[in-house]
Amino acid sequence: MKNKHLEHPEDSILLGKDSALNVINFLAQKNSKLTVKYDGAPAIIFGSNPENGKFFVGTKSVFNKKKIKINYNHFDIAQNHDGKVAEILHVAYQCLPRIAGVVQGDFIGFGGNDFYKPNTIEYQFDSIVQEDFIFAAHTSYTGDNLKDAVAHFEVPALSAEKVKFLSVDADIFMHSVRVQLLCVAAKLLTRFISFPDAKQAAQAKITINSYIRRGEKLNPWKLAMDTDCDARLFRLYNLIAKIKELLMENVIADDNVRCFIDKKESTHEGYVMTNQFGTFKLVNRREFSYNNFNLPKDW
């Protein structure tokens, strides 16, 4: 499994009753691993290719099925990439540590400032960054080759003289009784829902994203009319989103970074949570996803 796309918990209920029950169990689980989801760009994968032991840097294209782009030197970077991405990878190749494994993370910026906007969220540090390269490492990979590598949402300790590695550690400091009660209510609701087939589910997801893009409230009755799906499905959808947001209110991140969206102080994009029921991204879509859809991307 590659860390190329993680699902929102609420989106997973569109896939059927079993998937809905699984995500409810996921949200109710108290023993979970959390990491901060930094809003960096691009994603960078680096380390030693298990097939030949050579150090490489790249983007998610190192996992491509056909045109694989793995960069073992500056010439490869120039051949495979151009523009801002090539510039970032050249510096990454110079600065990132030569490690035995494979790690993925997000590029935040080059050093020399205390304020960075790699994507939608602006990050403010408490002092000028002295290192040349700012990086949030969040995923490691194991396996005999990159194609079949398995993602683990944790990384070994990393250090390099010219790199500022951001902490992605996070934890839920209190498990609300309300979360547990709402999970019980969500399970009961699944008994009365007519879940959509695969085609209906795909269309429902597109329609939901269009609502979020417009900043429109997810009204179950209106969504039911727009998608020809059971209104109770969207009641459950909103309930799962509410449970997720309650969990997020109780997360403490181990960092010293302030976050802003469109010059207004905000929180992190979200978190990645993993437990025995799977891995999902926890994102406040009414704030972050709306702005991510609509704000211009400077980089």
Distance of CA 78 to the CA centre of its chain: 28
Please state, in angstroms and rounded to a whole number, the distance separating the CA atoms of residues 141 and 148: 10
Do 278 and 199 touch, CB atoms closer than 8 A? no
pLDDT in tens, 97-144: 999 999 999 999 999 999 999 998 999 999 999 999 999 999 999 999
Residue among 278, 190, 288, 208 at smallest CA distance from 248: 288
Please state, in angstroms and rounded to a whole number, the distance separating the CA atoms of residues 218 and 208: 7
Distance of CA 205 to the CA centre of its chain: 18
Please state, in angstroms and rounded to a whole number, the distance separating the CA atoms of residues 36 and 57: 22
User: How confident is the model at residue 263, as a pLDDT?
Assistant: 87
Do 268 and 36 touch, CB atoms closer than 8 A? yes
Q: Which residues of the chain fall below pLDDT 70?
A: 1-4, 288-299
User: How confident is the model at residue 290, as a pLDDT?
Assistant: 57
User: How confident is the model at residue 299, as a pLDDT?
Assistant: 46
Q: Please report, for the chain, the start and end positions of each structural domain, with discontinuous segments joined by +.
A: 9-37+172-294, 43-167
Do 293 and 261 touch, CB atoms closer than 8 A? no
Side-chain half-sphere of 116: how many Cα atoms within 13 Å? 24
